Structure 1
Amino acid sequence: MSRIKELISWKFLLFIAIAIILTNVPIIGNYFRVVNTVIHESGHAIVALFGGKVHEISLFMNTEGVTYTSHSSWFGGFFTGGAGYVFSSFIAFLSFWFISRKQYKPIIIILLALIGLNLIFWVRNFYGIFWLITFGAAFIFLLFKGTAAIVEHFLLMIASILLVESIGSSFTIFLLSFTQPYSAGDATGLAQSTHFIPAQFWGIVFLCQALGFAIAGFKVGAYRINK
């Protein structure tokens, strides 16, 4: 047990704690939480491009988001509906994977690419544009002017927020699938697409995948990121 305690990175645990506290701060917390919303909605949009069309994405101050798409087949709509939570959980894990290997530029480039796609092609509401410009500017600064320490700690904070939010949002949709199955967002959408598979099943799927990626992210972050 003592050996395990020695291996665990307290830096990782500290930033997870900071992410939990920061995302619960009024106004500023929602601003940072929107990064998960952008990745979630981008997941829907990217999958929709394979045989479908993305019409518009809206991002809101309360951290909600919506992606309007159309599809040429049932399969396109099904995979688009399930992509959001999986994509955000995967990006959270991928961020810790890159950080553990001290490869910071790929994370910045990935996030800037998603921000750029949303800003140029999809997002048209005022708050969404404001968020993309301001957050994008922060990442551009990191890419060209940020010191090694600032880049590492800022990205570690973003990765921690993504991990916390991917679990939190999946848990919320899991609860809604049981308490309000007809108003449970993507779980309801998938239930309507599959007809015989209820929203509760999809709520469980979303939660399980989030926990799976979170465990993988914890193993990478807690044991490989420098203390």
Structure 2
Amino acid sequence: MSNLIKTILFLVVSAFLTHLIPFSDFFRNLDTMIHEFGHAAVTLLLSGKVMYIELFSNHSGVTYSQVTRHWSLIPIALAGYMTASLFAVFLFRQRAKGRQRFGLQVMTVIAIVALAFFIRNEFGVMWVLGFIVLNTVMLTFMPRWLCDLYYLLVAFLTLEESVFGPFSLILYALQDPAQAGDATNLAKVTPIPSVGWAVFFTLFALWCAMRALRWFFSGRQRSPQAGRDTAYRRQYED
């Protein structure tokens, strides 16, 4: 069985299981926040202006921005889904390296920056505040095993959303090409139709998911420093 088929089956089973976990929907908005944050970051890098971001309870979001250069719409539109997919890989890579605390800290910092500069609607503000508080509690007061379990849940939910989000975009593009979000925006400035961009986002997300799951199944790795410290202790004991 090819790695792609294994990845799809694993994600389907994972999505089914995580939907059984109470309040799991709360964490699915992390993917939305990262998606919109990606749009905002690239807009600023290209000297555009980000007015504000809105996050909604149905896991959708929108970034309102202004740009002066027409070509910049392409990298800005690309940034959302691609940033979310790459962030999922980042989370699993940190877990494989035993750096879950660092991964949680990065999530929290992004949420703080997004809240301070971009997110303005009521649901978005309340969700980000709750996410920041929960992460802070986990990092400060919870035992490591619970913090690691929390991290794994958030990582898997983010991975699932990073794949199923662009897949649903294909369905939107087929039903109404003018209502396919980033794919529609790209179709307006390129010769590629919105369904083509939706397929591209989905394939990129699946490629990232395969890499993320490779990190997951590879297990944790000891840092070189930890290995040296062990060697020093053994030498001292001998």
Q: TM-score scaled to structure 1, two decimals? A: 0.86
Q: Which moved more, 1:143-152 or 1:33-42?
A: 143-152
**Match of 2:27?**
32
Specify whether residues 176 and 16 from structure 1 end up closer, same or farther in structure 2 by C-alpha distance, changes over 3 A only.
Answer: closer
Q: Write the letter of the residue equivalent to 1:34.
A: N
Match of 1:202 among 166, 175, 197: 197
Whole-Å Cα distance in 2 between the matches of residues 150 and 88 of structure 1? 25
Q: What is the alpha-carbon distance in structure 2 between the residues aligned to residue 192 and residue 98 of structure 1?
A: 37
Q: State the partner residue of 2:36.
A: 41
Report how many aligned residue pairs link the two structures. 212
1:9 aligned residue: none
1:110 is aligned, of 101, 106, 113, to 106
Amino acid at match of 2:42: V
TM-score by length of 2: 0.82
Aligned-partner Cα distance in 2 for 1:25–1:154: 12
Unmatched tracts of structure 2, length 5 or more: 2-9, 222-238
1:36–1:165 CA contact under 8 A, matched in 2 = yes
The structure number with the bigger radius of gyration is 2
Aligned partner of 1:221 among 196, 207, 216? 216
SS in 2 for 1:72: coil
1:53 aligned residue (49, 58, 62): 49
Q: Aligned residue for 1:187?
A: 183
Pair 1:172–1:25, CA change in 2 (3 A): farther
The letter for the 2-side match of 1:71 is V
Change (3 A) 1:25 1:61: farther
Structure 1 residues 36 and 130: alpha-carbon distance in aligned structure 2, compared to 1, 3 A threshold: same
Q: Aligned partners of 2:84 and 2:203: how far apart in 1?
A: 13
Given the alignment, which residue of 139, 143, 148 partners 1:147?
A: 143
Within a 5 Å distance, the mapping from 1:32-111 to structure 2 comes to 32-50=27-45, 51-111=47-107
Q: CA deviation at 1:167?
A: 0.8
TM-superposed CA distance for 1:179, in Å, is: 2.4
Task: For CA contacts below 8 A with separation 6 or more, give which structure has more relative contact order.
Answer: 1
The one-letter code of the counterpart of 1:215 is M
> What are the superposed Cα offsets for residues 68-106 of structure 1, whole Å, 9 maximum, x if unpaired?
011121232211111111011111111000001101122
